[in-house]
Amino acid sequence: METTDILFRTHLNYQIEANSDEEQVRQVTRDEIENIDLHRCTFFDFKTFLTYIRDNYPDYYFSDAAIEAVKPTGFNENEKYDFVSLTDYAKHTAITIGNMTLFNELQKLASAIELLNVKQYDFDPQPPVYEELGSCVVGGANIDAYKLTAYLHESSTKERPIVAVRSYSIGTKTYLLNPDIIDIYSIYKPNATLIETFAYMCYEDYRQHRTSQSFDRLLISGDVDVESMEDMYSTHYDLRVYDRQN
């Protein structure tokens, strides 16, 4: 199926209910997802895999509405689709139409899908706190300001570093529900979002034992402008420039 033929229902009017009372479903077992190929599977299998991840690890919480949003036009429940590509295209579509709420939800789906590649299916109910890699404050004053903290995710390895970014609202004194989970080696460097840029720079500072924060220097340089948390997802930066300079 050509992605140009895909029309997501979210183009019309997509609203995610952050605290919606979603229908309770049975617990999915690991055996049910062991042989699922998200590059070629039915929507039922796709949803089964994501339900297992969501039920067993709270960092990957996302709504059923976000899962449903990946369905293509002409959807057939018996047909097999490449849901990895569909999810990536959905993220691109969300940015194009300016729906950052949808993009954030789809980013969580994409992070959960990455677990299929590393076979990280067994999680502790309460994941341990890992060493902080770096932090910064973005946004405006008071209620619009957020502190971002990057740390190594529990599934991270030396061969495949994965960074989690947790956001804390300084104005409301609360953490946002879901951290961003970023696979460092999967970042598209020529057009990285600022949240990916922050994770990447924090990891590189940690890896090279730097004492100064690279992302802070980027903000001070004026090369990027962050006025709100939304800018962290809608604004992009070429990480190849950073690599050349460091």
Q: What is the pLDDT of residue 140?
A: 62
Q: What is the Cα–Cα distance from 215 to 10, expressed in whole angstroms?
A: 33
The token duo for 105 is 């939800």
d(CA 168, CA 138): 10
Secondary structure letter of residue 21 according to DSSP: -
Dihedral of CA atoms 112, 117, 118, 121 in degrees, nearest 10, equals 50
Locate 184 and state its tokens. Answer: 């460092």
Q: Exposed/middle/buried for 193, CB within 10 Å: 0-12, 13-18, 19+?
A: buried
User: Is residue 95 a contact partner of residue 6, using CB atoms and an 8 Å limit?
Assistant: no
CA Rg, the chain, in Å? 18
pLDDT score of 141: 52
Tell me the mean pLDDT per 10 residues along the chain, length 246. 42 39 61 85 91 77 84 87 83 72 79 64 43 80 74 85 87 79 91 94 90 85 86 92 91
Q: Report pLDDT for 129.
A: 46
Q: What pLDDT score was predicted for residue 116?
A: 65
Residues in the chain: 246
Residue 223 DSSP SS3: coil
pTM: 0.50
Determine the pLDDT at residue 59: 66
